[in-house]
Amino acid sequence: MKNNFDNIENKRKDGSVWFNDLTRKRTNGPTFKDHRYTEYSDETKSVHSGQYDDPSTGALGTPIFQCSTFYLNESSYKAIEEGRGRDEMIYTRYGNPSQWSVQEKVSALENAESSIVFSSGMAAISSAILAMLDKGSHIVSSRDIYGGTYNFLYEDLDKFGMSVTFTSPTNIEEIEAAIQYDTKLLYFEALTNPLLKITPIEDLALLAKKHNLRLIIDNTFLTPYNVKMLDLGVDLVVNSATKYLNGHSDLIGGTVSGSRKLVDRIWPQMLKNGGSMDPHACFMLERSLKTFALRMKTHNSNALELAEYLENHPKIKKVYYPGLKSHPQSELAKKQLKGRNSGMISFEIEGGDKKSHELLNALKLPKEATSLGGVESLISLPYNTSQASLTKEQRKSIGINDGLIRLSVGIEDINDIISDFDQALSTIF
């Protein structure tokens, strides 16, 4: 990555060089190697992309570079002088081989030019949003977004002289009506929590382009295995790596992926916020991603089969799952998800919240816990977890009824999962 400052065409009569005349090209990455395995499937990308082959030891697998700083040299100083600090090893908060390795794997799976890994999903979300805005900016977002994101937008943006309008995630007309003269960003989730509404991404991308806005999508519930957001016209995609990307319920992390130009804008915001991912967590995430595609395939197939079972059970009032024909957006699901669906199910049980608690106590395999996307099935009640801050009336106004249960379907044998639900439902009824 070189600045061609000596190009005679870029110099003014006084010898100055204007910013718009610089011919330096941004490359993918930063990365140690150019091979992205772009011609291969997600299963192969998951295993091979981003892996760092240590030239000194020949170690198979990316080592953990557990260091805080690196030797400085002429290349380092030149990169700092030219504003290319992201492409050199200088300080681990700025970049580390462990970070570069997992970032390259994420980029390969997202079909992105560049990615950054963060210490948490909220670090990724807040850094990406702040990097795209100026003082006085306005955002349009969804009423159905994750509580942590909602609190950041509603409570914190005002401190930066910014504002937000919350809309339906599925009504394009309502979203467009909320756009103001100072709107700079659309921020939505691909699949909402807990009612699993599908955001029409391509329509949203066209709307963003029409009004010259940036579009950021949180794809945590679907992941790049089910939908590659950047291919649909999204500017930036964020994920809570805590969930499916890692998949083992043993680390906290976040990712942002997109064009090199936009991700380079987020990088200094990450430095200021201090949300970089530590090398050991990077190692764990890169290792876990090697089984990502295989895990997602099982999550999807298990969830579909369990959703069909629940929908046919006489004590289940309603099932929310994008792969079912009964889902109000089933046609959009076929088009946008291409049959890959999701590992998440929500359903309403007869008897309301009282019977919901009884079911959770009667189940043997699903673990009653917050979060999602782990190899084990996780189950929770939105009324006392993700939507606990809302009143009962507020919950009902957005469709969260008594007896609603959220289930992250794991990779256990599906027959064992269904048998467990069968015995639990028989027990409580």
Give me the active site residues, please: 93, 146, 218, 243
Calpha distance 175→154 (Å, rounded) = 17
Answer yes or no: are the C-beta atoms of 143 and 166 closer than 8 Å: yes
Q: Which amino acid is at 161?
A: G
Answer yes or no: are the C-beta atoms of 194 and 387 closer than 8 Å: yes
Residue 67's CB is within 10 A of a number of other CB atoms, namely 13
Answer yes or no: are the C-beta atoms of 117 and 255 closer than 8 Å: yes
Which residues, 6 or more positions from 126, have their beta carbon under 8 angstroms from its beta carbon?
152, 156, 273, 275
CA distances from 379 to 58, 109, 171, 194 (A): 43, 28, 29, 12
Return the DSSP state at 166. E
Which residues, 6 or more positions from 184, have their beta carbon under 8 angstroms from its beta carbon?
132, 133, 134, 137, 138, 139, 213, 214
- CA triplet 225, 230, 231: central angle to 5 degrees? 80
Of all helices (H) and strands (E), which one includes residue 414?
helix 414-428
What is the full DSSP assignment across 315-328?
TEEEEE-TTSTTST
Q: Where are the alpha helices (DSSP H) in 192-242?
A: 201-210, 223-226
Answer yes or no: are the C-beta atoms of 290 and 305 closer than 8 Å: no
Handedness of CA 247, 251, 256, 257 (dihedral sign): negative
Which residues, 6 or more positions from 72, have their beta carbon under 8 angstroms from its beta carbon?
90
What is the full DSSP assignment across 26-79?
PPS-S-S-----TTS-HHHHHHHTT----TTT--SS------SB----HHHHHH
